[in-house]
Structure 1
Amino acid sequence: MNLTEHYNQLYKSASESILNGNYSLDSKISDISDSRFGITLLLRPSEKIKANIQSFLKELKAIEPHQYYYPDSDIHITVMSIISCYEGFSLEKITIENYIEIIRKSIIDLDEIKIQFRGITGSNSAIMIQGFPSNGSLNNLRNRLRENFKNTALEQSIDSRYTISTAHSTVMRFKEKLQNPEQLMAVTEKFRDYNFGEFKADKLELVFNDWYQRERNTIQLKDFEL
C-alpha cells in the first residue's frame, strides 16, 4: 500500500464530509454504560511527539472546545486489534498467557520499528496523525501475528473489521455538532504536512481496553521490550 496516497484519499474524503456537514458524531464517548472491551497490541510515541500533538490539539480546542480530544496517556498506534471491542467481553473469557506466548513468538528477531509522525488526515468522525514506518518491520510483525494466531484455536478477531495497514494515531473525535467546520479544516490544513517527529519503539504493550483506549479503563497485561 502507498501510505501517502491512502492518507491523501482519507483526508480528501474527510474534508468534503466535514465541510458538507456529512460527518458522523460518536454518541458513545460519554456513555458510562458502554461495555465494549477487547485486547490490543499497541505502541506509543515519544513524549516529545506527544507534546507536538498537544500543541496541534490546543489550536483545535480553541475552535471546537466541545469535541473529544485524546490526552497524552491515551495516544497510541494500534499494532493489532487482537480481540476487537465488543459488548460483554471480559478477561475471564480467555487465558492471557496463551496470547502472550504467541506475541513473544512473533517478535523474535524482529527489526527495529521506527515511525515518523508527519501530517494530518481524517475520517468522517475523527482527526488523525499520519504515521509512516521507516521500514517493513511493522508490517512484518503484523503478518507474523496473523499467521501465528491463525494457527491456534484462541479467540481472536484479527482483520475482521478491516485489514490494518496504516500507522496512524487518532487524536480527536466528533461528539457534538461542529460549530466552526471551516476553521477546523483551516487548522488541519496548517498542519497537513507538519513534522511531529520520529520515534523508535522501545516496547509493545498488550492491553485490555475500551473502544477509545482510555487510561482509566485500560489494564496493562504485558510489556514486550524491543
Structure 2
Amino acid sequence: MATKKKKKLSYKYQVVNLKEHYSKLYKESVKNIASGKYEIDNLIDSKSDKRFGITLLARPSNEVKAKIEKLNLELKKVEPNQYYYPKSDIHITIMSIISCYDGFNIENIELPKYIELIKKCIPNKNNIKISFKGLTASNSCIMLQGFMNNNVLNDIRDNLRFEFKKSELEQSLDKRYSIQTAHSTIVRFKNHLNEKESFLKIIDKYADFDFGTFEIKKIELVYNDWYQKKELVKKLHEFKIQ
C-alpha cells in the first residue's frame, strides 16, 4: 500500500510556530537567568581552543548591524565582562556543514566537491529577506529573533540534507539540532552577571524591538572557530543570490 507523502507546513503556519518557539525560549531562559541558572562559557578567551569546522552563513546589512551594536553598547555599560559579538562576526547560520571539533583539518577535505554540491542546493532567482524583530535567549546567550519572508532558506537546508546524505563527504548536518530558524547570537555569558537586574531590564526593553530587514544577496562558506571570530574565520567560497 502506498504511503502518503508528508504534507509540507504552510509558510504562515511556520511563522506562527517560530514566534511561539522564540517566545517560549525567551520566557524560560530569562526566568533561568534571573534565578542564576545560566551557563558560563569558559572557552571564549581560551588560546587552546582548537575547535574548527565549516559553515554556510549569511550576514546582516550594515544598517541592521548598527542597531545591534547600539543594544550591545547599552548592555556593555552594565555588564562589561560578557562576550559581545562585534559587528564583523554577527551572522545567521544557514547550515553547519561540519560542526566545530578539536582536530578538524581543512586540508583533509576535498573543498571543490563541497562547493559543487552546495551550488546544486541553492535555487536560482531567490528572494530571501530576514527581519530581526525582538530578542530571544538561551541559558548561555542572548539572540535576535529572525523571521524569513518565505520558505527559500529552509528549502536550501532541505536540499543540503538530501544531497549530503547521498554523498560520501564528511558532514555533521543536524548533529547538534535540526536548524529551522534565522536567529543570530549577539551576547554570550563568559562571567557571572554582577548587574543581572539592570541587564535583564535592557533585554526586556528590546524584547520586541525592530532591528530592521535585509536581503540576503550572498551566502558564504567559511572555515571557522566556534564563535565565528573574524581573525580566525577564512572565507572558502561565496555563492551569489540572484
* TM range, smaller chain: over 0.9
- Is 1:116 matched up with 2:144? no
Which letter maps to 1:17? N
User: Where does 1:11-160 land on structure 2 (aligned, <5 Å)?
Assistant: 11-109=26-124, 111-160=126-175
* Pairwise CA distance, 1:93: 1.5
Aligned partner of 2:214 in structure 1 is 199
- Extract structure 1 runs of 4+ deviating beyond 3 A: none
Task: State the number of aligned residues.
Answer: 226
Structure 1, unaligned runs of 5 or more: none
Structure 2, unaligned runs of 5 or more: 1-13
TM-score for both structures, normalised by structure 2: 0.92
| Secondary structure of residue in 1 paired with 2:36 | coil
Residues 1:13 and 1:154: Cα distance change in structure 2 (over 3 Å):
same
Aligned partner of 1:213 in structure 2 is 228
- Bigger Rg, which one: 2
Aligned partner of 1:189 in structure 2 is 204
| Secondary structure of residue in 2 paired with 1:177 | coil
Deviations 1:102-133 (A, max 9, x none): 11111132531111000011100100111000
| Percentage of identical aligned residues | 52
Is 1:120–1:188's contact at 8 Å kept on the other side of the alignment? Answer: yes
Deviations 1:65-115 (A, max 9, x none): 010000011000000000000001011110111100011111132531111
| Secondary structure of residue in 2 paired with 1:215 | coil
- Is 1:173 matched up with 2:223? no
Residues 1:110 and 1:82: Cα distance change in structure 2 (over 3 Å):
farther
Rounded to whole Å, the distance in 2 between the matches of 1:117 and 1:134 is 11
- Is 1:3 matched up with 2:8? no
Is 1:64–1:184's contact at 8 Å kept on the other side of the alignment? Answer: yes
Deviations 1:182-216 (A, max 9, x none): 11111011000100000000100000000000011
* Pairwise CA distance, 1:13: 1.3
